[in-house]
Structure 1
Amino acid sequence: MTTTRDSGSGLAPSTIVVRSWKAPIAFAIFAVLGAVLFIGLARGGDTTYRLSNDSDAIVLAPIVLPANATGIATVVLMVAIAVYAFLLVRSARKVPLWLTTIFAILFLLGFLTWAAAGSTVPLVGLLAGALTVSTPLIFGSLGGVISERVGVVNIAIEGQLLAGAFVAAMVATLTGSAIVGLLAAMFAGALVSVILASFAIKYLVDQVIVGVVLNVLVIGLTSFFYSTVMVADPELFNKPDRFQRISIPLLSDIPILGPILFNQTIIVYIMFALVPTVWFALFKTRWGLRLRSVGEHPKAADTVGINVRATRFWNVLLAGAIVGGGGAFFTLAAIGSFTKEMTNGAGFIALAAVIFGQWNPIKATLAALLFGFATNLQSTLSIVGSPVPSEFMLMLPYLVTIFAVAGLVGMSRAPAASGKPYIKA
């Protein structure tokens, strides 16, 4: 929308005001959906949230919420937030991230309380499972942020995760060392990135096409070697040494958060350190400034002496190594062995988290946590006997992904040179 303001000099310069109604409309849709479910299809009874296990150092009393009253309260608050978001956009102001976060928490609370009415929800188990599902998504989203910030669209996250999972399982089994398996997984992810970077940067092939081809190639190769090598002798090739959980003294005894955050494997602790490190390096260091300048305006970066192609190449390799390390989580921590196509589309959800997170490491991590929570929620609701059809529950994580990227992300802009090959004049 364009508005005209008088500058006081007789001239009337035009000011471009861009309003995005995505977030308010999405809020309104979810508020209506909440009203239909929580009020129109209200379920009687109470929902009990179990906050700790009997074996915990500190045992907390469960929280009991009446399903009807909680549903009404959440709908009222969601409607208020939707109205406030409309007013913000109408006045050409941006809907803040914290408001979207509060709205999402309210809807999830109302939905979970409604769906589990008359049952007990193991809250710690639900959140711990969500973190487990989110871990490879976070590694994938961090690699995607680095790659796209430097100007290369990384559709091959799925292939990098799968390659990391396969190589980690085989190398860890052969060497008897999970650490060596993790390093091998990082190498495998970087190797996939070498192919992506070579074709996209040196030979100027369309980056999306290269990424799709690499995904298909890795799926085919891993499936072939799994069927012909691993299945034939799983004791020799597919029984890796796994990372054990490391409980941090005192911190692991903190109610709710302790068992979730401080009783994890080394890969999760690496992830905890990696998220702020990538953010700091990307926005507070010379390396990050060079990387972002190449992704925004490679010609300007070239004129000040930055080697655009080399910067892109090595940072795409770094991104691939990070994603490959995330793939190792499947086989060295979560599952304990490799199975065919075990990533199951996690790379594409990680790519959606990059977009939803507006190419910011912190926001992309939060988006990955949201998608991981939605994925784990289907299992929890199936256990407590939710009235929601099982087919819908299987669709839930993907529906959340679509709504988040299409509706809640609002105005976002990818790095200006992302996906565009640089040809030096």
Structure 2
Amino acid sequence: MFRRIRTGDIVIAVLVLLPLVIAWPGSRLLPGAGAGAVLGAWGQLAGVLGLSALLVGAMLSVRLPGLDRWFGGLPRIWTLHRMLGFSAFLLIMLHVVLLALGALPVSPEMAATVLFPPLDDGAVWIGWGALVLMVIFLAPTFQFFGRPHYQRWKRLHLLSVPAFLLAFMHVVMLVEHAALWWALVIPALGAVLWRKVLSPRLGRHDYTVEAVTALASNVVEITLAPRGRPMTYEAGQFMYLTPHDPDLKAGRGEEHPYTIASAPGEDALRVGIKALGDASRALQTVTPGTAVQIEGPYGQFFERREPQRRQLWFGGGVGITPFVSGARTLKREPGSGPDVTLIYLANRPERAYYMEELREIAQGHPHFDAQIHYFQERGPVDEAFIRSHCPDLEEREIYICGPPGMVDHLMGLLTRAGISRGRIHTEAFDFL
């Protein structure tokens, strides 16, 4: 996931380190400063970096379509967001410990006073309030108590806003460079304002459920018709879908990510949905004619450095949907694109719910081939099966989407076969 340095990585590094360059007082330490002064300076350094990481992490919650390309995809943005949040928590804890240790050479009483001053020392107690809120909203994020309930986690995560505001107030009451922190907190607040207030009203496209087609047990394809400005997208991208069907048993008004299965340019938008949770299970019976909103598109699954290199696709489970979108795109443009071989990995025939359509597309397209591998008949896919349908394996650009176990198996198999990891592309949607 982090093989390449992206433009967004550089922006993050600059924003996180800028307060350190401008505001850290360690550069003002006099020669021969004692251990207490050094520890105190390092404690302030940890606090400066902790707050800047917290604010930059908040900026990454903005989720603007297209911005994810700067970072290598939305899943990668969420990974960076979590890393910054966890780093901020550790740095702020270190900030507290080092400040106390810095005062310890004077006396234990001084160390205790640094941590727990008189109640009229508002700046320090505001800082404690920020830390307590961080503990509350970060614990579920890092699954200290198991995987959190999605909507409960989203509501609890709203505590991050008062947490970074209190941390900001703590700092500006104590430092000289308040303008610097204002320059960071304003875009952080703007990102949260867009995500929670403005985006549901201004950033979504209105659609109507046109049809619900059962593909297999617990799998449907929903066809959506635009009610205004349609969303433009590329093959392999995904979106957030918010249904408003009043009869839904779960998920009404909630946004969840789903991969687009239709080809760009189609009149209607199609999405394949498997019942993997309460919301996706309820969508199996969403009422045609009801309203939905979609936000996106996101992702860059088929982005590649060499567009005309032959490709090998591996799809399994609901992870077949980006490849269905890609195959439908090839059908609409039969004379374009590179040679593509698709290997569909399914447990048994009734779970290969798009295979008939994929075979029809392959019959009518000179550069597309679709093969099926059934786990129940053959066991896990092996190198011999792959090479029997794709003998030029080493020359291909490879794309994988499916359950985590399938992805791990293929990554190990292909790596042992000598395929460079830089030629293997995966998409993951197991983020909140």
Q: Which has the larger radius of gyration?
A: 2
- Give the TM interval when normalised to the shorter protein: under 0.3
TM-score (norm 2): 0.24
Higher relative contact order (CA 8 A, sep 6+): 1
TM-score (norm 1): 0.24
